[in-house]
Structure 1
Amino acid sequence: MNNLEDIAGPILSGLGYDLLELQVQNSQGRAVIVFRIERLDEQPITVEDLERASSILSLEMDRLDPIRGEYRLEVESPGPKRPLKNARHFERMLGLKAKVRSLSQNFTAPIEKIEGELVTFNLEGELVTLKIGDFQANLAEFPPTYR
């Protein structure tokens, strides 16, 4: 999958997008490659953005042919359960609930604060601080306005 990220990341960045998540799924014996993207300028992603990214990624994937056999390429917005992977993602969603998974614990709690690579969550009054990269998180509630 790193090869796909290495291919897609620079292409998307050059178009003004950030690759948030890449998933390779299997649907009826055929690979489905799902790219979840957002705009680098942090504006809401549009259908036109998704079409543009899909078109360019399709051309490059056809040219480089990194996947054996048939596959379907999908480009999506992050949606309400967007992945939170870096400090900026957490800063933008400060105060909202995140679903957190680590080797030692799983919980859903509001994002309390961000200091460098440390994210603090308010777990029912108990502050839990984790280092980015040591856990996975997704937004657990949709913000009332775009962030």
Structure 2
Amino acid sequence: MSNIAEEIEKLVSPIVEELKLELVDVEFVKEGRDWFLRVYIDTPDGNIDIEQCSQVSEKLSEELDRIDPIPQNYFLEVSSPGAERPLKKEEDFQNAIGQFVFIKTYEPINGMKEFEGYLLAYGPDAAEVEIRIKTRKLTVEIDKDKIALARLAIDFSA
């Protein structure tokens, strides 16, 4: 996470908590010539609406104008994490047990760097994912420190 994203996370966390929402992720990324500050929020039951996004956006905009932590011009986007919600925190992984996930690793495990399957377990050291290779189901253990990216995924084979 970039320094700006970390700073914004500290700034937006109290706003989100006050509204009884969950902060899922903060990104500060350059796309083409433009910079985007993206804040992903959700409700505990996963039913975020546009009004809640708008409330967070307005309050965060006021704080950003007051503190001005970002030197360049940028677009602020506050939205739902969507169906393919990122898994970043321990709690995210625990809540995703039994769900279909996509995990990308920093280095190959059994010759693969991308895994799609059902998250069976998430412990102190590793995640266990049941993947399918053609008609076979295999359980793969992925060390936590090898996970580069993890998110919920949609199982199109079901």
* TM-score of the superposed pair, with normalisation by structure 1: 0.81
Aligned equivalent of 2:27, options 11, 23, 26: 23
User: Within 5 A, what are the aligned runs for 1:47-66?
Assistant: 47-66=50-69
Q: Distance in 2 between matches of 1:42 and 1:134?
A: 30
Tell me the TM-score normalised to structure 2 length: 0.76
Q: Which runs of 5+ in 2 are unaligned?
A: 108-112
Distance 1:84 1:114 in 2: 12
Instruction: Please say if 1:36 is aligned against 2:49.
Output: no
Write out aligned runs for 1:1-147 (5 A): 1-27=5-31, 29-39=33-43, 41-104=44-107, 105-116=113-124, 118-124=126-132, 125-132=137-144, 134-135=146-147, 136-141=149-154
Distance change >3 Å, CA 26–CA 111, structure 1 → 2: same
Aligned sequence identity (%): 25
**Structure 1 residue 59, shift from structure 2 partner:** 0.7
Q: Secondary structure at the match of 1:83?
A: coil
The 1-side partners of 2:17 and 2:56 are apart by: 10
- Structure with max Cα Rg: 2
RMSD (CA atoms) = 2.2
Q: Aligned partners of 2:124, 2:138: CA distance in 1, in Å?
A: 20
CA deviations on 1:53-99 (whole Å, 9 max, x unpaired) are 11111111111101113221110101011101233323333322211
Q: How much does 1:131 deviate? A: 4.6
Q: CA deviation at 1:9?
A: 2.3
